Amino acid sequence: MSATLRFKVVEQAFAKKPVDVPNRTVRPSEFFAKYVFNRQKMFQYLPAKVYERMVDVMDNGAQLDRETADAVASGMKKWAMELGATHCTHWFQPLTEGTAEKHDAFVVHDGKGGMIEEFTGKELIQQEPDASSFPSGGIRSTFEARGYSAWDPASPVFVMGDTLMIPTVFVSYTGEALDYKAPLKKAINAVDQAATAVAKYFYPDVTKVNSNLGWEQEYFLVDESLYAARPDLVMTGRTLMGHDSAKNQQMDDHYFGAIPQRVAMFMKDLEISALELGIPCKTRHNEVAPNQFELAPIFEEMNLANDHNMLIMSLMKNIARKHGFRCLLHEKPFAGVNGSGKHNNWSLTTNTGVLLHAPGKTPLDNLRFITFVVETLKAVYRHNGLLKASIISASNVHRLGGNEAPPTIISSFLGTQLSDVLSKLEESDDDELLNISGKQAINLHVPQIPDLMLDNTDRNRTSPFAFTGNRFEFRAVGSRANSAAAMIVLNCAVAEALMDFRERVDALVAEGEDKNKAIIKVVREDIKEVKPLIFDGNGYSEEWRLEAQRRGLDVVSSAPLMFDQYLASDTIEMFRRTNVFTKAELEARTEIKLETYTKKVQIEARVFGDLCLNHIVPVATRNQSQLVDNVLKLQSIFPIDEANRLSQTNLQRIRAISGHIQFIMENVERMVDARRVANRIQDEREKAIAYHDNVAPLIECIRKHVDDLELIVDDELWPLPKYREMLFIR
């Protein structure tokens, strides 16, 4: 791109007006789930017996028979066609960063030379995507292409545009999971069974425990024309070069600030579409970095919540383009400012309405609360390295460890009160210690302002796994990740901890110990075990890294080495006990993670090298030639001493540009050579390590010189939109 075109693009971006979104004449509650075949629609479109059978399937896990499936498909087709649907698709979550779909029309031959609309139970229940064309880690080969997608009745179907979308799992011909949904459902079931068994110690009428998820989706918006003028953004999702803007987030004026009008119109359009699809959008606001925003829904059952998050990310991208934006979900699209996470708020609730991670009003309630908190901590402590591996990626590594993102060491912040309770409970037999207060009132002594109810914890923005009053917030999940990856590990780890807890308590009771005393005894043992995980200080400090290593926490910072956790013996055993993954599935997923990491760094290196050699160096050379020409002209006009004095500044710039160009050229060549060497490595783990150790560092090293050139080279020549032009929406 020429500098002239850059200025034109920037001018056009700043001149854009908000796209008007028609006002709704009804309340959101009146059009919520308009395009979702939920229970209300089922009751309306299905025969009574079919509806009852479907409720049994959804609530109790009953088997769906073909006769019921045919009846459901008939009613579903009628509803969808009334909304203009002409096609259907199985919507699934392969081991990529998105979703997949193959559309089939509602048509078959009528036998008389015409067509009729038809949709059967078989089409509803099952499709056959090409399993070899999705990441499989070697489970499927090109000559072994068969795979199946199967309907998940727990997640309601919906209509988008002219297509009936059917949420499904995706498995191989030989039965291995090739997606995120199938193992997530297994993990949810595992923690349900384990948590229900423990909850019965306190509430015998509990028959089910639900996993809940509340995601907070952070994202950036950038003008579409500026996005198109940045090949690095287009190809990799982040800016591989770009000097800090003089003003970015240092004034703290963007966070919770007034939402720009263009963005507000986008948000309104997004929320209407999301609400129509049954996504319960609740919160929207400016985030810390310029052009960064957040959307958060009401908490939902985990399987549905995860589907909704995958859907909202797709909606964001599509609706952003209607408003002249591109939505950036990369964890670190701009250096020097906050990156984007997807905080996963996780909790457990019983079918009787008890929130297991919330304090109660009686000592027994509080013993239950302490039990589930401590066993969750034990799960995280035992598998802290695996939890880190579940959220790490080639993109999330750029975000973690700075600008309010948690570090790559998994620890847990509990707050002063809860930490104090656990400490005293560990050391004392006093049952009164279980009288934990909930929220406490504080009088602000400000006229007209009521007393505030303080949570029993503060907050620590550097803690990866923080207790926040009635739930745990896993803050390390990346913004464009599928949350299922982290939630599978967390649920399985908690299920394992609760299974072990119950076995130990039952063993003590069998020996004659009082049940409550047995629970307290085991809890005390586990408090001692998990103490290394609890950390309320600054997670960014070097002192904490050294202390964490001393405590035995995982401090590995290399993404390829983190993936080793998936094949650790205790990981394999945990997934075997919870019946979520076989060893073969874990090996396949590890292979996919390594391949994905390598390919992402490889693409970034290729794009970066191209930008350096074909955009930055030519422009810097041209500016250098102009400066040399100026020096020569000064020497032709003025006496040599005076000319040298007048040329001093330009001579310094010429030397600086020469130094940067030389460094860039030499090290781009080194980077290309390092890439070639890495590409010849056959073992995926060793190849990923080579890219991490030898290629990725060169990108960051060369970038510094490119960013320095941006400050030296004439602004009228610089070919790429700068941070100051991209980060502030007018």
What one-character-per-residue DSSP string does 543-594 give? HHHHHHHHHT------HHHHGGGGGSHHHHHHHHHTTS--HHHHHHHHHHHH
Q: Is residue 344 a contact partner of residue 215, using CB atoms and an 8 Å limit?
A: yes
Tokens 């912040």 correspond to: 413
Using the predicted structure, report yes or no on whether residue 20 has a pLDDT greater than 60: yes
pLDDT of residue 420: 82
Per-residue pLDDT tens over the stretch 484-539: 999 999 999 999 999 999 999 999 999 999 998 899 999 999 999 999 999 988 88
What's the whole-number mean pLDDT along residues 578-594? 97
189 or 108, which is more confident: 189
Using the predicted structure, report yes or no on whether residue 605 has a pLDDT greater than 90: yes
User: What's the pLDDT band for 354 if we cut at 50, 70, 90?
Assistant: very high
591 or 109, which is more confident: 591
User: What's the pLDDT band for 459 if we cut at 50, 70, 90?
Assistant: low
Separation of alpha carbons 593 and 407, rounded Å: 20
pLDDT of residue 142: 67
User: What's the pLDDT band for 593 if we cut at 50, 70, 90?
Assistant: very high
Per-residue pLDDT tens over the stretch 678-713: 999 999 999 999 999 999 999 999 999 999 999 999
Please choose, from the candidates 258, 310, 367, the residue with its C-alpha nearest in 3D space to the C-alpha of residue 101. Answer: 310
Using the predicted structure, report yes or no on whether residue 449 has a pLDDT greater than 60: no
pLDDT of residue 429: 62
343 or 6, which is more confident: 343
Q: Is residue 266 a contact partner of residue 221, using CB atoms and an 8 Å limit?
A: yes
User: b vs e for 511-522, b when ≥16 Cβ sit within 10 Å of the residue's Cβ?
Assistant: eeeeebebbbbb
Separation of alpha carbons 691 and 602, rounded Å: 8
pLDDT of residue 116: 73
Q: What percent of the chain has pLDDT over 70?
A: 93
What's the whole-number mean pLDDT along residues 340-344? 96
- Sign of the torsion formed by the C-alpha atoms of 255, 358, 198 and 498: positive
pLDDT of residue 3: 67
Kindly report the three-state secondary structure assignment for every residue of 659-706.
HHHHHHHHHHHHHHHHHHHHHCCCCHHHHHHHHHHHHHHHHHHHHHHH
Q: Based on DSSP, count helices (H) and strands (E) in the chain, helices before strands.
A: 25, 19
What's the whole-number mean pLDDT along residues 2-9? 71
Q: Is residue 243 a contact partner of residue 722, using CB atoms and an 8 Å limit?
A: yes
| Distance (Å) of CA 575 to CA 175, 190, 492 | 16, 10, 7
Residue 291 CB-half CA count within 13 A: 28
What's the whole-number mean pLDDT along residues 150-159? 94
- The residue type of 188 is I
User: What's the pLDDT band for 461 if we cut at 50, 70, 90?
Assistant: low
Separation of alpha carbons 505 and 502, rounded Å: 5
User: What's the pLDDT band for 55 if we cut at 50, 70, 90?
Assistant: very high
Separation of alpha carbons 530 and 524, rounded Å: 10
Q: What is the pTM of this model?
A: 0.93
Element (H, E) at 596: helix 583-611
Separation of alpha carbons 620 and 607, rounded Å: 18
259 conformational bin, left if phi > 0, alpha if psi -120 to 50, beta if neither: beta
What's the whole-number mean pLDDT along residues 68-95? 94
Highest mean pLDDT among 17-31, 347-361, 422-436: 347-361
**The two three-digit tokens of residue 393, written as one number:** 């990626």
710 Cβ partners below 8 Å, 6+ apart?
241, 242, 243, 718, 722
**The two three-digit tokens of residue 244, written as one number:** 């800090």
User: What's the pLDDT band for 454 if we cut at 50, 70, 90?
Assistant: very low
467 Cβ partners below 8 Å, 6+ apart?
357, 373, 412, 413, 414, 415, 418, 457, 473
Lowest mean pLDDT among 314-318, 577-581, 589-593, 641-645: 641-645
**Exposed/middle/buried for residue 718 (C-beta within 10 Å: 0-12, 13-18, 19+):** buried
pLDDT of residue 640: 87
User: What's the pLDDT band for 334 if we cut at 50, 70, 90?
Assistant: very high
pLDDT of residue 29: 82
Mean pLDDT of the chain: 90
Number of C-beta neighbours around residue 435 at 10 A: 14
**The two three-digit tokens of residue 320, written as one number:** 């952003």
Q: Is residue 178 a contact partner of residue 134, using CB atoms and an 8 Å limit?
A: yes
What's the whole-number mean pLDDT along residues 202-211? 96
Per-residue pLDDT tens over the stretch 463-487: 899 998 889 999 999 999 999 999 9
Using the predicted structure, report yes or no on whether residue 219 has a pLDDT greater than 90: yes
Per-residue pLDDT tens over the stretch 383-393: 999 999 999 99
pLDDT of residue 691: 98
What's the whole-number mean pLDDT along residues 441-445? 42
Highest mean pLDDT among 53-57, 142-146, 662-666: 662-666
User: What's the pLDDT band for 28 if we cut at 50, 70, 90?
Assistant: confident
What's the whole-number mean pLDDT along residues 537-565? 92
419 or 323, which is more confident: 323
